[in-house]
Structure 1
Amino acid sequence: MFGSLLSLLCFLVMAPSMNSWSAAADVITCSGTVTMRYRSDKISITDFGGVGDGRTVNTLAFRAAIYRIEHLRRRGGTLLYIPPGVYLTESFNLTSHMTLYLAKGAVIRATQNTWNWPLIAPLPSYGRGRELPGGRYLSFIHADGVRDVVITGENGTIDGQGDVWWNMWRQKTLQFTRPNLIEFMHSRHIIITNVIFQNSPFWNIHPVYCSNVVIRNVTILAPYDSPNTDGIDPDSSSNVCIEDSYISTGDDLVAVKSGWDEYGIAFGRPSSDITIRRITGSSPFAGIAIGSESSGGVENVLAENINLYNMGIGIHVKTNTGRGGVIRNITVSDVYMENARMGIKISGNVGDHPDDKFNPNALPIVTGIRINQVWGVKVQQPGLIHGIKNSPFTGICLSNISLNGVAGLRTTPWQCSDVSGGAQRVTPWPCSELISTDGGGSCAIPF
């Protein structure tokens, strides 16, 4: 249909079977979490009337193409090819066993008809929209209950045109929670790679209630002042790999979540086995964040080889009274940060509540946080660790950390309360609650 060149390109991109964790030139990847499938069946959006002139609305073309993929069910699935051009469209849903492939120069751009944007129910682990009570606007590209889905290409762009939504947020005229750019719900075996995401109305990439997800080699862009434009938010999901990507947004670059207060506690699905590596970016908020919505629990997170510039906070673990949930076995290592308001923050008084029905006695447990090999320059305050009086944070272990201040400015010292753990080779020296350790006991980490 597109000639031998596209067939060869698709084979080169899709054919490798990655059945195990692999290393190439000593670069470890976790892309074996999901196998990349080759699709022998290929269709183009132009076959369904798609026009990439930046003016024609292509909603019917996208929906017709995906309807064909869903109902014809070709063996091995189908690749939907988006050729160069700007394809304006309203929101649409993906289906199982498909690849959305954006050629170089291809742009899938959201319309700005907020008055006609579809609504869906709130997430059960949140109980309401994240911003406002009631439902929420459907994500621009949405999928629920799918498996074996790939979004990839030659660094084409998915553009949410979020400025109209940001202005509604600033002017307080929103009626419901803004749409994410991409959301997968109740889905598994998802790969997102080699695509640029920009100007999301709200969170950019949101896998929720998912498993076996790989997000790698992506670029995520939004203005520094764009509200709540988190980069990647794995939420009540397991076996998620995020690596080799550049993120510059108006909120947390990567934030691991698992539900909000009583709703997240009742839903009871944690985020677990999350790997984040080789991420570079900037944001007025956090680089690597855990929470603050963490009521289902967060465990077994590894973040390593992170480079952060012009940050609010480099590493942020955040929860609150009423959240409940257990945050444990979090390891962050090999982080460089430059020009940050704060280097490390682990706090039990961050984030709001969905309503007044939360249980104030639902105290989160935070234990086993290991932060190692962190170097920072122009960091105004090295760190703050504030646990909760009736639920102190334990096993907070810091090693080989140097967070240098801004020349000519007085550096704010570490602040700590309701915390226990250990520290070794940390500059400036942290609070007395973190005793000097040789790496034994509850802080058995390599120094």
Structure 2
Amino acid sequence: MVFSQKEIKSPRWTLIEINVICVISIVLIFGSLAECNLDYLAINCRKHSAVLTDFGGVGDGKTSNTKAFNTAITKLSQYANDGGAQLIVPPGKWLTGSFNLTSHFTLFLQKGAVILGSQDESQWPQLPPLPSYGRGRDAPGPRFSSLIFGTHLTDVIITGNNGTIDGQGSYWWDKFHNKQLKITRPYMIEILYSDQIQISNLTLINSPSWFVHPTYSSNIIIKGLTILAPVDSPNTDGIDPDSSTNVRIEDNYIVSGDDCIAIKSGWDQYGIKFGKPSKQIIIRRLTCISPDSAMIALGSEMSGGIENVRVEDVTAINTESAVRIKSAVGRGGYVKDIFVKGVKLNTILRYVFWLTGSYGDHPDNGFDPKALPKITGIIFRDVIAKNVTVAGQLEGISNDPFTGICISNVTIELSELKKKKKLPWNCTDVSGVTSNVVPKPCDLLSEKKIECPFPTDKLAIEDVQFKTCNIKSSVF
């Protein structure tokens, strides 16, 4: 099937609101024909289109569609060099195990479509550990493939009219809590060694572990996601760019049992050897709820380096900490040139500012105790926080202090209980400056009349424009 398309560059993307016109015609004798026109925005449009039911898909929530997804994507891969193809997932509940994407391809979930992750382990192929980690996160050795997986791809889009992907993670969480995992749990979406990735306008719920994990990849846009997991679910990070470059994360709402966003780049000696940093990342217009973790974490796996990260216009509610840097002796690597501004916080359960040099979780005993991380150039400005337990916990490493910290224009209101207790700031092995910060920071951060800098240039990924694409499909 071929559909017409308009490739009009759009200067902005209106979230959630997608122009949908669906005309239902009832054709006597031949049955009912549903003909839908739907416009959506994407980095690229597709010439060819098919529906999952064309390949035997059954949306009853019980029938396995693993074969249907894999058959459809294999068939559509032949159009990669002829304008690309998209696979439409119509309304229904589509139970499936892991399946792999292809290049120049769009997976589109219509409104009312729900992809359900299978709880049958035989539906999840096993993969070797990531080379920058050296082992699985839950257990040594292999790991399960993610629900939606891709490697060595170019131009891959996962989007929809707010369709849903449900990882049905409770099966995996129970195994984790009962220490029954011999293989690392699957993620929901993982794309490796790829370029030009878009993940947008979807609701993602109950991932077995991390939700969105672009790794060793570049030119990534993650936009307009609603990510939901119980706040006590284990390791359900929302978005984790890992050893990736040119990443744009914007307009997302995340409720999580772990960090809402965590930027990573490999674990101890494995990450040092692999040597691929995460850099040129912008995060904006994020809302996070995570009582046991951070709104945004850098690390703890940061051995390949993290640099040039820009965070602006973000909100955390009932969250453990705002922006947290996690590192340790043995990590090596670096975190540098981190810029954060325009932060609104309400009910921070531990620390607004939290820099940790003793996050000592190691993959094995092979790490180098002389591999010290370099943490420098950490900028925070324009922060308003209410009902806070502690303003800051800044803990560097002895003989390896965290340097170049700048904090300006910050107002923190401590909770009534905290006002009667210990100092609002705790600092060791750090250096830097502050300006117009309430309550007064620790003496290691000298007071100086200064406005902490924030870059005025744009990252290349910010200039990527979207095309208006169209689906015209006929479903009998």
Cα deviation, residue 326, structure 1: 1.4
Is it true that 1:326 corresponds to 2:334 in the alignment? yes
8 Å contact from structure 2 (residues 50, 86) kept in 1 = yes
Equivalences for 1:296-335 in 2 at 5 Å? 296-335=304-343
Which residue identity lines up with residue 135 of structure 1 in the other structure?
P
- Quick one: structure 1 residues 278 and 411, their matched pair in 2 at CA, closer, same or farther if it must change by over 3 Å? farther
Deviations 1:10-33 (A, max 9, x none): x47xx3436xxx5689xxxxxxxx
SS of residue matched to 2:87? strand
Aligned to 1:400: 409
Which residue identity lines up with residue 156 of structure 2 in the other structure?
V
Higher relative contact order (CA 8 A, sep 6+): 2
How far, CA to CA, are the matches of 1:281 and 1:358 in structure 2? Answer: 33
How far, CA to CA, are the matches of 2:454 and 2:225 in structure 1? Answer: 31
Equivalences for 1:349-364 in 2 at 5 Å? 349-364=358-373
Deviations 1:30-58 (A, max 9, x none): xxxx9711112100001001111111111
How far, CA to CA, are the matches of 1:114 and 1:380 in structure 2? Answer: 42
Equivalences for 1:407-426 in 2 at 5 Å? 407-409=416-418, 410=420, 412=422, 413-426=424-437
- Quick one: structure 1 residues 24 and 101, their matched pair in 2 at CA, closer, same or farther if it must change by over 3 Å? closer
Equivalences for 1:176-187 in 2 at 5 Å? 176-187=183-194
SS of residue matched to 2:9? coil
8 Å contact from structure 1 (residues 405, 411) kept in 2 = no
Aligned to 2:207: 200
TM-score scaled to structure 2, two decimals?
0.86
Which stretch shifts more, 201-210 or 347-356? 347-356
Aligned to 2:46: 39
Equivalences for 1:227-266 in 2 at 5 Å? 227-266=234-273
Is it true that 1:294 corresponds to 2:286 in the alignment? no
8 Å contact from structure 1 (residues 384, 414) kept in 2 = yes
How far, CA to CA, are the matches of 2:360 and 2:346 in structure 1? Answer: 26
Deviations 1:243-291 (A, max 9, x none): 0110111000011000000000000000000000000020020001111
Structure 1 runs (4+) deviating above 6 angstroms are none
How far, CA to CA, are the matches of 2:157 and 2:13 in structure 1? Answer: 22
Aligned to 2:115: 108
Aligned to 1:391: 400
8 Å contact from structure 1 (residues 343, 379) kept in 2 = yes
Please tell me the root mean square deviation across aligned C-alpha atoms, in Å: 1.8
Which residue identity lines up with residue 319 of structure 2 in the other structure?
M
Aligned to 1:279: 286
How far, CA to CA, are the matches of 1:149 and 1:86 in structure 2? Answer: 23
Which residue identity lines up with residue 286 of structure 1 in the other structure?
A
Larger Rg: 2
How far, CA to CA, are the matches of 1:249 and 1:65 in structure 2? Answer: 32
8 Å contact from structure 1 (residues 380, 411) kept in 2 = no
Which residue identity lines up with residue 249 of structure 2 in the other structure?
I
- Quick one: structure 1 residues 350 and 87, their matched pair in 2 at CA, closer, same or farther if it must change by over 3 Å? same
Deviations 1:221-243 (A, max 9, x none): 10000000000000000000000
Is it true that 1:427 corresponds to 2:419 in the alignment? no
How far, CA to CA, are the matches of 1:47 and 1:74 in structure 2? Answer: 22
Which residue identity lines up with residue 418 of structure 1 in the other structure?
D
Deviations 1:133-185 (A, max 9, x none): 11111111100000100111100001110000000000000011111000000
- Quick one: structure 1 residues 142 and 327, their matched pair in 2 at CA, closer, same or farther if it must change by over 3 Å? same
8 Å contact from structure 2 (residues 52, 68) kept in 1 = yes
Which residue identity lines up with residue 85 of structure 1 in the other structure?
G
SS of residue matched to 1:321? coil
Is it true that 1:348 corresponds to 2:357 in the alignment? yes
Aligned to 1:339: 347
8 Å contact from structure 2 (residues 402, 430) kept in 1 = yes
